[in-house]
A and B are shown apart, each in its own frame.
Chain A
Amino acid sequence: MNFFLQVFGNPELYASTLAMATPLALAALGGTFSERTGVVNIAMEGIMLVGAFFGVMIAVLTHSSLLGLLAGMVAGIITSLALAWPAIRLQSDQVIIGMAINVFAGGLTAFLLNTVYGYNGTPTNTPFLPTITIPGLVKIPFLGQVIGQQNLLVYVMLILVVVGHYVLFHTNIGLQMRAVGEHPEAAATVGVSVVNIRYLGVSIGGMLSGMAGVYLSLGLLNGFDVNMTNGRGYIALAAMIFGKWTPFGSLLSSLLFGFAIALSISLQGYQVSANLVGMLPYVLTIVALTGIIGRSRAPLADGIPYEPSK
C-alpha cells in the first residue's frame, strides 16, 4: 500500500509522463496529418533529428530560442518535402523514401554536429525554450505539480492536438484531407487537388515532427546530441497507429507510452533488475493493443501512389 502511494502518489510521475509524451504526441499528430492524406510517413525519426539540430543551430546564431523553434519547424517542412515530392510526383515507394530520410538525417546531423561544433557538443549557453508557470493552476496541490509548470511546447502540444482535431474533422480542408487519403480518384473527380492536399498533409507532418525535435533539443534538453531522438520517431509511428490515425488517439497513446516509461523510472530501486522493469512500456503496449484497442484501420489510400490524370 505504502509502496503504491509512493509510486503512484508522486505527482512527478505524471509530470514526467506529460514531458515524455510531448515529442511523441507532436510527431504522431504530424504523422496523422501526413497519413490522413495518404502518404505513409515513417520519416518522423529523421525529421525530428533535423529539426532538433537546426533548432539548436539557429538558436545559437540568433540568441533566440523562438527563432530556433521556427527554424526547426522550417527544417522539418523542408525535409518532409523530400518525402512529399517523390511520393506525390514520382509515385515512389513511401516506406523506402522514409527509410532513406532517416538514414540520411542521422548521418547528416551527426556530420554537421562534428563539422560545426566539433566533438565537444553544442554550446552550453544555447538559449532554450522557457518553462511556463500557469499562475492559478500551479497552486492547486497535486494537479498544479503535474501540469502547472511545464515547458512551453508541452502546452503548445496540447493546444495543437485540439486544433488538429478541429482542422481534420470540422473544416473544409480537413474534409478534403480525409477524402484524399481514402480515395484520391474520387476526390479528384470533384475537383479536389490531390497533389496540393498531399503536399499540405506531409508538410504539416514535417513541421510537427520538426517541432518535436526542437522540443528535445531546446525544451527538454539544451543542446543537440548524435541520434538524440533514440527511436522516438518510431515510437511516435506506433502511437499514431495505436491512436487510429486521430489527433486525440495519438495524444492518448503517446501519454500511455510516456506513462509507462515514467513508471518504469519510478519503479526502480525496488530490487528488480532495471532491464526487466524497463520492459514495462513495451509489455504494457502489447497488452493494451491486444486487450483493449484491437484493430485499427489505416486510411484506405495510405501509402498508395496516386497517378494524376493523363
Chain B
Amino acid sequence: MKRLWKALSLPLYAVITGLILGAIIMAIAKYNPWSAYGSLLMGAFGNPIAIGNTVSGAIPLMLTALGIAVAFRTGLFNIGAEGQYWVGAMAAVFIGYNFASMPWYFHIPLALIAAMVAGGLWGGVIPGLAKAWVGAHEVITTMMMSYIAILLAHYMVEKGPMMQQGFVPQSPPITSSATLPTILTNSNLSAGLYIALAAVVVVHILLFYTSFGYKLRAVGYNAFAARYSGLPVALYTVLSLGISGVLAGLAGGVQFLGVDYQLTDTFQSGYGYTAIVVALLARNNPLGIVLASIFFSALSSGSQMMQITSGVSANMTDVITGIIIFFVAADRLYAYILRTFRKKQVIAVARKEVQG
C-alpha cells in the first residue's frame, strides 16, 4: 500500500501542479479555469460513453507504449513507433477488406497477425539489423523508417493498390467479419481493450517471469556483461526492436479493426510520440503504462469537451500536458522545495533560540 502510494503520489503532485499552472495561464487569457477543468473532466469521464471513448483512446497508446518500453528496457530508443503503427494499420486493413468470406475467428486473428508481423519487420528488421551489424543508431533508423512508412501509406491510398475506387483517396472499409465488436454502445470502445490488456499482461510476464525477459533486461542494463554471459547481444537487439514494432503494429491493427475501419488520407496518429511519454512516465513498467495511457487519453478526449463548452482551444491542453510531463520528470522538485523550506525553518528556529 505504501509502495503504491509512493508510486502514485509523484504523478499526482505533478498533475496538480500542472493543473494549477494551466489555470493561471487560462485565467490570464481570460478563460474560467473552473468551468474549463469541469468540462475536461466531464468530457473524459462524465458519462459511460465518454469513459468508453477515453478508454478506447488509451488502447493504441497502451500497446505502442508497451512496445517502446520493451525497447527502452533493452537500452534502445524506438522513436519510430508512429510508422510501425501505420504499417500495422495498413496490413490489418488490407487483410480486413479482403477475404470477406472468412469467418471472424480466422479473419480477425489473421489481420492482427499481419499487423504485428508488418510492424515487427518494419521496426525490427531494418533498424535492428542495422544496429546489430554496423551499429547504426536506432534513433535515426527508426525515425527514417517512420517517415517512409507514412509516405508509403499515402501512396497506398492515393494512387496505390489500396485505393478504393471513388471520389476520395481512402481504402475500402474492412468487412464485418474483420471488425472487432464494440463493447459499449455508442462509444468507440471495442473488444480491442481485451487485446490490449492481454498484451500488457503478456509483456509483463515476458519481461519479469521468463528467462528471455531477464536476458532482454540484462542486455539493456549492461551489454558488456550480457556478452560476457554468452548472450548474443545483436540478436537481442533485433528481437527487442522487433517486439517493439510488433506491439506498435498491433496497436495500428486493433485501432483499425475496432475504431477506424478504413484508411483515410491522414496519417498522423501522434500515438507513436505520445507513447514515448507514456512509457517514460510509467518508468517502462507495463502496469504503469495502463494508468498513464488512460491519463493521456483522458486529457485528449476531455480537451475536446473543454473546447466545446468553455471555448479553450485544444492547444491549451498541450500546454497543460507539457507542464504535467515536466513536473513528473522533475520529480525531485518537491523534495527540493521541501528541503529549502525546511532549511529556512531550521534557520528561523535557530535564530529564535539565539535571540531567546
Complex CA–CA separation, A92 to B280 (angstroms): 12
Question: Is A221 close to B, CB under 8 A?
Answer: no
- Chain B residues positioned under 8 Å from A90 (CB to CB): 330-333, 336
Question: Is B322 close to A, CB under 8 A?
Answer: yes
Question: Is A143 close to B, CB under 8 A?
Answer: no
Contact check, A104 vs B326: say whether CB atoms are below 8 A apart.
Answer: yes
- Chain A residues positioned under 8 Å from B148 (CB to CB): 279, 282-283
Q: How many residues of B contact A (CB 8 A)?
A: 49
Question: Is A135 close to B, CB under 8 A?
Answer: no
Question: Is A173 close to B, CB under 8 A?
Answer: no
Contact check, A103 vs B322: say whether CB atoms are below 8 A apart.
Answer: yes
- Chain B residues positioned under 8 Å from A282 (CB to CB): 144-145, 147-148, 151
Q: Which residue of chain B has its CB nearest to the CB of A86? A: B330
Contact check, A107 vs B336: say whether CB atoms are below 8 A apart.
Answer: no
Q: Which of B109-117, B195-203, B226-234, B313-321 contacts A (4 or more CB under 8 A)?
A: B313-321
Complex CA–CA separation, A155 to B193 (angstroms): 54
Q: Is the interface of B mostly helix, strand, loop or mixed?
A: helix
Contact check, B130 vs A290: say whether CB atoms are below 8 A apart.
Answer: yes
Contact check, A286 vs B144: say whether CB atoms are below 8 A apart.
Answer: yes
Q: Could you pull out 8 A-B pairs where Cβ atoms are within 8 angstroms?
A: A96-B277, A103-B277, A108-B322, A110-B313, A235-B143, A242-B137, A286-B144, A295-B135
Question: Is B328 close to A, CB under 8 A?
Answer: yes
Tally the A-B contacts, defined by beta carbons under 8 Å.
Answer: 153
Contact check, A96 vs B281: say whether CB atoms are below 8 A apart.
Answer: yes
- Chain A residues positioned under 8 Å from B313 (CB to CB): 110-111, 114
Q: How far is the CB of A224 from chain B (nearest CB, A)?
A: 14
Q: Which residue of chain A has its CB nearest to the CB of B276? A: A99
Contact check, A93 vs B329: say whether CB atoms are below 8 A apart.
Answer: yes
Q: Which of B33-41, B152-160, B347-355 contacts A (4 or more CB under 8 A)?
A: B152-160
Chain A positions within 8 Å of B, measured between CB atoms, are 82, 86, 89-93, 95-97, 99-108, 110-111, 114-115, 234-235, 237-238, 241-242, 273, 275-276, 278-279, 281-283, 285-286, 289-291, 293-296
Which of B319, B328, B333 sits near A96, CB closer than 8 Å? B328
Complex CA–CA separation, A238 to B143 (angstroms): 8
- Chain B residues positioned under 8 Å from A100 (CB to CB): 277, 322-323, 325-326, 329
- Chain B residues positioned under 8 Å from A276 (CB to CB): 151, 155
- On whether A242 and B140 interact (CB within 8 A), knowing A89-B336, A95-B280, A114-B315, the answer reads yes
Contact check, A275 vs B158: say whether CB atoms are below 8 A apart.
Answer: yes
Complex CA–CA separation, A40 to B135 (angstroms): 20
Question: Is B183 close to A, CB under 8 A?
Answer: no
Complex CA–CA separation, A116 to B320 (angstroms): 19
